[in-house]
Amino acid sequence: MVKGKKTAPKKKPLILVSNDDGISFYGIRLLVDIMKELGEVVVVAPSGPQSGMGHAITIGNTLRLEETNIFKGVKAFECSGTPADCVKLAKDFVLKGRKPDLVVSGINHGSNSSISVLYSGTMSAAMEAAIEGMPSIGFSLCDYSPNAEMEHGRKFIKQIAKQVLEKGMPKGIALNVNIPAKSKGKIKGIKVCRQARARWQEKFEERRDPRGRRYFWMDGNFVSLDNGHDTDEWALDNNYISVVPCSFDMTAHETLAELNASFSKMKKA
């Protein structure tokens, strides 16, 4: 360094924040607060709840985008669309060509482990970012209580986000991070896991509205089909934070050779 010459201040990383519970939900408020410690934050989140929307996008209706001052000192927008819509609008309109160094989604109110990743709006925002080549993380808390405590996950959320900012991540990968409920006691640490084989076993309750018209209410139970000790479900059951690297490529690569051979025979018949 030349004596007397000043170096330019290091540029803060740009962090885009979204969620699926809506822009006014307290989970995103905590996430924004944590991310402010790591960089410049911009928020684009749904104007209302979008849980269970999966990777839906709005193609048959208009999209609304309004700037809001809900987060002090943070540029924020509420969007009438889905979590995936929010990331698309952020990239193509709000950020005006600036590419985020990190996209984070959450903190979701409820687990997004195992098969729930397919239904999750939280993870779909993260996956949309991964599709666009941006490092991304979805954060969820495994507690459905109306008054769920999230603060106990603060230091771990910051550590994971900081790690990704500093070390980067392979293109097309989003991290699915699930945090045990505070009621389970002190978190033991972080486990990088695979997604457990599990599913929701739904049941539909038939009901009648005040006018006598029939409708259905879906309920169900979570059924684990996996006894492995290297899964997200095992980690959460044993009070570890689970981290699962996820890809949008849903090809069953292990079956390609077998299916190719099978279909090749069909062509010759």
Write out the chain in H/E/C secondary structure: CCCCCCCCCCCCCEEEEECCCCCCCHHHHHHHHHHCCCCEEEEEEECCCCCCCCCCCCCCCCCCEEEECCCCCCEEEEECCCHHHHHHHHHHHHCCCCCCCEEEEEEEECCCCHHHHHCCHHHHHHHHHHHCCCCEEEEEEECCCCCCCCHHHHHHHHHHHHHHHHHCCCCCEEEEEEEECHHHCCCCCEEECECCCEEEEEEEEEEECCCCCEEEEEEEEEEECCCCCCEHHHHHHCCCEEEEEEECCCCCHHHHHHHHHHHHHHHHC
pLDDT of residue 1: 47
Token couple for 75? 């540029």
Helices 154-167 and 26-35, packing angle to 10 deg: 50
Token couple for 175? 């991290």
Tell me whether residue 209 is annotated as binding: no
Return the domain boundaries, the chain.
14-250
Angle value at C-alpha 150, between 144 and 151, nearest 5 degrees: 165
Contact (CB, 8 A) for 190 and 160: yes
Tell me whether residue 92 is annotated as binding: no
Select 14-250's CATH number: 3.40.1210.10, 3.10.20.30, 3.40.50.300, 1.10.10.10: 3.40.1210.10
Tell me whether residue 145 is annotated as binding: no
| pTM of the predicted structure, to 2 decimals | 0.90
Task: Report pLDDT digits (tens) over 170-222.
Answer: 999 999 999 999 988 899 999 999 999 888 888 889 999 999 999 998 888 87
Distance CA 220, CA 129 (A): 31
β-bridge partners, 136: 103, 174
Q: Which residue has the tokens 């779909």?
A: 124
**Distance spanning both ends of the chain, measured CA to CA:** 74
Give per-10-residue mean pLDDT for the chain (269 aa): 58 96 95 97 94 88 95 95 96 94 96 90 96 97 90 96 96 96 93 90 90 90 85 96 94 91 73
Tell me whether residue 108 is annotated as binding: yes
Distance CA 215, CA 209 (A): 7
pLDDT of residue 11: 85
